[in-house]
């Protein structure tokens, strides 16, 4: 025991000294010299340690709180205290210390090293952001740190980015075999920005020679460019399909209520867009309520906004039908003018209550962000939620129209109003409930629109024309036609926009619909019933 105690104390002392020697003093020595290349190499060596001490030292160098003594020792000065940069010991500020000179080149190297060290952060979002930041410009000196991060990384998306970063940095390696391997490693990437780098290897300079002298590397670059272009094209097509479905879902939600009020009742409701706006503002009020009275449940405001928007917009529609529209059945021109005037009144009322400026409706936390597919295509959660929501609303409307008593009476009134009245159907009440149903569905569409952008008094004006186009193209009174027309117009619009631009694409779609209606006035699906005959 007498022999064991001194040995134990000696071992603890040795371990303590090893723990304190966080950074090799020889690695820090070049920072105090005048050789700029050696100082840059020292920064890279310190960053490659990938330790908290290394990050603290680089942050001190960036903040210009790193000082050197005449004998070459480095200290991090914080107020009246100093810390030995090599051992981490707290000491009094030594005499004669002087701040290290940090020029622009060294500052850029430190910033790059710190951004690389974020690759080792415990938070996935921080590591992903750091990897994406390095994609803008990667320094070959950062390769050791990136390799270390790649070994420790378990996330597939971040690993792929790191592999591309290493390959991109090796494109300028002195060895042709290394450059060829780097080019071949990029073949699995979906980053279109790499095409410019690879093309520069093939383009001829002022001397008439290509940027890459080795023919084997040139052939590998051509093959890699071909694979990247194919992958980018597939990703663009998939993106257009997804965003076309997303746009079609928005149009469907906006037009579904109109398909009932116009398609089944024959009411040209120019105030339909303002019912969308009312649903969006109801969502805004629900958000304010949860933010003030239920802050712990703020992400659940959307579940309260859905029934609230349906009821508020539905009640507004019922009031409009009972006070104005019920007197205008069978008079389409008067209905159009009256509802247009109502739309102006509703917009001015909203401006008076909420102001003319747009208001922000924030996405819940569970709808923020997106999922990455095909290596680079991001599908936002809010648009995925709207697609699912539109499908659920269509199913609910179909069930109401085909499996409920209201739907039975509605179809009877639509096909033959006089006969339905003769057998005891309260056609006036059915008209009121039907208009309220269509208005409530418009309110649900407003909830969805509030998740895609800001909410303002003019929100509905952007969708009223598109909604009428969807209903007319699909076939008046046909739910299936409305669904197909909305999704079809969304897809056509998204595929035309990159070619012709947003304005010309809209004009082309309008011309197509006009020609289509001239050839087939009943739309995609003809309405059946005695009223048609």
**Rounded-to-integer distance, Cα 515 and Cα 500, Å:** 19
Rounded-to-integer distance, Cα 258 and Cα 280, Å: 17
Those residues of the chain that have pLDDT short of 70 are: 1-22, 115-116, 137-142, 263-264, 375, 476-477, 523-533
Q: What is the pTM of this model?
A: 0.71
Task: Please give the CATH number for the structural domain made up of 235-519.
Answer: 1.10.3470
- Sequence spans of domains, the chain: 19-106, 121-213, 235-519
Compute the C-alpha angle 78/79/80, nearest 5°: 110
The pLDDT assigned to 289 comes to 92
DSSP-assigned states of every residue in 222-254: HHHHHHHHHHHHHHHHHHHHHHHHHHHHHHHHH
- For residue 260, what are the β-bridge partners? none
Own/partner pairs, 367-374, CB within 8 angstroms, 24+ separation: 367/302, 367/451, 372/157, 373/238, 374/190, 374/231, 374/234, 374/235, 374/238
CA distances from 9 to 2, 4, 6, 13, 19 (A): 12, 9, 5, 6, 15
> Could you give the CA distance from residue 478 to residue 264 in angstroms, rounded to a whole number?
8
Determine the length of the chain: 533
Q: CA 79, CA 58: separation in Å to the nearest integer?
A: 18
Closest CA to 195 of 174, 226, 220, 238: 226
How far apart (Å, rounded) are the C-alpha atoms in residues 57 and 179? 34
pLDDT at 375: 66
What φ, ψ does residue 74 adopt, rounded to 5°? Answer: -110, 140
């Amino acid at each position: 025991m007498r022999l064991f105690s001194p040995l134990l104390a000696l071992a603890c002392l040795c371990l303590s000294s090893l723990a304190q020697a966080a950074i090799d003093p020889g690695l820090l020595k070049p920072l105090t010299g005048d050789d700029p290349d050696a100082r840059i190499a020292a920064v890279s060596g310190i960053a490659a340690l990938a330790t908290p001490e290394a990050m603290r030292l680089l942050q001190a160098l960036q903040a210009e709180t790193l000082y050197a003594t005449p004998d070459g020792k480095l200290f991090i000065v914080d107020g009246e205290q100093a810390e030995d940069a090599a051992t981490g010991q707290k000491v009094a500020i030594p005499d004669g210390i002087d701040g290290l000179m940090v020029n622009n080149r060294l500052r850029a190297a430190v910033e790059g090293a710190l951004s690389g060290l974020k690759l080792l952060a415990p938070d996935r979002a921080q590591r992903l952001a750091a990897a994406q930041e390095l994609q803008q410009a990667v320094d070959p000196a950062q390769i050791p740190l990136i390799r270390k991060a790649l070994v420790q990384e378990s996330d597939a998306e971040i690993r792929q980015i790191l592999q591309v970063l290493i390959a991109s940095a090796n494109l300028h390696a002195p060895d042709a075999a290394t450059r060829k391997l780097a080019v071949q490693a990029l073949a699995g990437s979906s980053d279109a920005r790499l095409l410019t780098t690879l093309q520069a290897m093939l383009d001829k300079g002022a001397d008439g020679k290509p940027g890459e002298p080795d023919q084997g590397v040139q052939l590998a670059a051509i093959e890699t460019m071909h694979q990247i272009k194919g992958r980018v094209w597939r990703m663009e097509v998939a993106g257009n399909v997804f965003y076309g479905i997303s746009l079609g879902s928005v149009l469907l939600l906006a037009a579904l209520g109109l398909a009932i009020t116009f398609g089944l009742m024959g009411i040209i409701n120019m105030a339909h867009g303002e019912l969308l706006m009312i649903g969006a503002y109801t969502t805004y009020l629900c958000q304010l309520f949860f933010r003030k009275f239920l802050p712990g449940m703020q992400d659940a405001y959307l579940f309260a906004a859905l029934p609230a928007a349906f009821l508020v917009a539905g009640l507004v529609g019922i009031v409009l039908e009972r006070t104005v529209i019920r007197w205008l059945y069978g008079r389409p021109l008067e209905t159009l003018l009256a509802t247009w005037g109502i739309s102006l009144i509703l917009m001015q009322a909203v401006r008076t209550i909420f102001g003319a400026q747009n208001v922000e409706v924030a996405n819940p936390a569970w709808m923020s962000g997106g999922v990455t597919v095909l290596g680079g295509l991001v599908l936002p959660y809010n648009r995925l939620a709207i697609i699912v929501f539109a499908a659920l609303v269509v199913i609910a409307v179909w069930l109401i129209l085909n499996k409920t008593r209201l739907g039975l009476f509605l179809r009877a009134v639509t096909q033959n109003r006089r006969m339905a009245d003769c057998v005891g159907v309260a056609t006036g009440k059915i008209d009121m409930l039907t208009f309220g149903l269509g208005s409530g569905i418009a309110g649900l569409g407003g909830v969805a629109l509030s998740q895609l952008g800001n909410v303002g008094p003019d929100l509905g004006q952007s969708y009223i024309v598109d909604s009428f186009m969807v209903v007319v193209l699909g076939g008046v009174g046909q739910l299936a036609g409305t669904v197909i027309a909305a999704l079809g117009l969304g897809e056509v619009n998204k595929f035309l926009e990159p070619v012709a631009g947003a304005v010309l694409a809209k004009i082309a779609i309008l011309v197509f619909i006009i020609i289509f209606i001239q050839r087939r006035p009943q739309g995609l699906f003809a309405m059946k019933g005695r009223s048609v005959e």
